[in-house]
Amino acid sequence: MPAIGSQVKSFKAEAFHNGKFITVSDADLRGKWSVVFFYPADFTFVCPTELEDLADHYETFKKLGVEIYSVSTDKHFTHKAWHDTSPAIGKVKYVMVGDPAGVIAQNFDVLINDGSHLAERGTFLIDPEGCIQYIEITSGGVGRSATELLDKVRAAQYVASHPGEVCPAKWKEGDTTLSPSLDLIGKI
């Protein structure tokens, strides 16, 4: 599993985005905040609910300067077919990356090793320098929440821009932060 603070490994893949096929690479993650959002497969059950939830919150992510890259081991052609036939996936405006060889899933250590060649439900928040700042992995039957992810993005961005401050549990934008120091030890 990649560690918090580790650099994203090199990759290059084909993707479906805004009605076109494009090439994406690890270089596209540099210079802005990014979410790499792995899911097991197109045309499934929990996956479209997650991708639709991200689509419903995509403008908020963009306002925070965050680009979303959804990734499965399906081909980019399959992403287009799913986008064209599913009302939920039809809402998706972010990049849908095809990883049929499983290279990206292996780089992030979310490729399931049971012969299925599917990816775990893995979420990775990448800072503008290409370093991983947040990791979430859930079991196949447990969907993720875009609202909760937005809270993590805001906290990570706050901490990155406010050295010496940290965000406590349940922190929301505008809440009080902490400045770790000797006088706080044992008083929280």
- Residues near 133 by Cβ (< 8 Å), separated by ≥ 6? 4, 5, 125, 126, 127, 156, 160
User: Is the Cβ–Cβ distance between 165 and 179 less than 8 Å?
Assistant: yes
* CA dist., res. 53 & res. 48, Å (int): 8
Name the catalytic one among 8, 29, 47, 149. 47
Of the candidates 88, 96, 92, the residue with the CA atom closest to the CA atom of residue 49: 88
Q: In the 8-state DSSP scheme, what is residue 106? A: H
Q: Give the three-state DSSP class for 152.
A: helix
167 catalytic per annotation = no
Active site (catalytic) residues = 47
